[in-house]
Chain A
């Protein structure tokens, strides 16, 4: 089973709206990472949030982390069509490489 997983397969929003992707994980972590993968490309790291952080921002992106419920969220504000992608959360337990969730496909429509 996945050590980290997003809770929805797909989300659709219109440009300008906000969207939130949620993730739950099963191991104790030192950090959780969010990635974006556009069609035909490799995953690109968006935000790394460490276990002693509750929130982290990167431009229009905001990640939260709740270690008590082992969950995280990634919010995108003022979405644009180019935000259309699959969003993954990932953890790196025991320094054995990243373990990814299956991803949430976010579609942003004009």
Chain B
């Protein structure tokens, strides 16, 4: 069963704490993505990774960094989380520009 797995599913952090969101895929897709989804703003692209250690900023990278040391894993890091980073974060992977698979999301609340 091909899938993208995100951990954790729910997370509550205090402002200023560091946050690690993890994502894994079992399809050997080269390209992986991190999006955030907010009401009224839709899905916004944070980072793209084209392969191990080959990452590129998306539309809203400020306040985030990523790490990809293995093809199947892609992490999103928030150093010193802010309240405006409260959101639902989705990881996705794709085969070329066609077959995209999304995870179920991580709901992050920063208080």
The interface stretch among A20-28, A41-49, A66-74 is A41-49
Whether A30 sits at the interface, judged by CB under 8 Å, is yes
**Binding site of B, secondary structure by majority: helix, strand, loop or mixed?**
strand
Contact B98 A43 (CB under 8 A): no
Residue of B nearest to A41 (CB): B104
Contacts of B105 in A (CB 8 A): 40-42
Majority SS of interface residues in chain A? loop
B100, A45: Cβ atoms closer than 8 Å: yes
- What residues of B have a CB within 8 angstroms of the CB of A30 in the complex? 97
Q: Would you list which residues of chain B between 44 and 69 have a CB under 8 Å from chain A? A: 45, 48, 56, 58
B43 and chain A: residue at smallest CB distance: A100
- The answer to whether A31 touches B45, judged by C-beta atoms less than 8 angstroms apart, is no
Q: Is the CB of A95 within 8 A of B102?
A: no
Contact (Cβ within 8 A) A31 B102: no
- Among A31, A97, A102, which residue has its beta carbon within 8 angstroms of that of B98? A31
Q: CA–CA, A2 to B48, complex, Å? A: 19
